[in-house]
Amino acid sequence: MDHTRCKEMVWAGYHKHQCSRKRWKDGYCKQHHPDSVAKRREEQTKRYEQRRKEAPWYRMREMQKLNESLKSENARLTKALEKAAEEAYRNEVVDTKMEEHIIGEGKEYFDKKDWVESKLIDWGY
């Protein structure tokens, strides 16, 4: 091994040989020094990530993730709103003993479900 040249072993066809560049730091040339290699790899990764994020398939996948997230949030909020409407039914109809006056055939609301749906509509759902 020539101690005036870089200590990195590089491929040439089917065999390896010592890099022909002169030593720069820690026995490596600028190209093969671990810090230089890490810096180039980081820059390459940043460029790749930027190109990937600009690709149509990547944006579509991100939109699909967002859509799924919004669907689950919508389902969670819908359940909470329905629970609130059920609670409102208990407070406004059952607790006030108005059930027999407003719920039933020929009355304002056909059944409890009809009252709850009406309340949800009133709330803008």
Instruction: Please give the structure tokens belonging to residue 38.
Output: 């890490």
Q: Residue 93: how many CB atoms within 10 A of its CB?
A: 20
Q: What is the pLDDT of residue 21?
A: 96
Q: What is the pLDDT of residue 100?
A: 83
Whether residue 99 is predicted with pLDDT greater than 90 in this model: the reply is: no
Q: Which pTM was predicted?
A: 0.51
User: How sure is the predictor about 85, in pLDDT bands with cuts at 50, 70 and 90?
Assistant: very high
Instruction: Please give the structure tokens belonging to residue 11.
Output: 């491929």
The residue among 15, 97, 95, 93 whose CA lies nearest residue 114 is 93
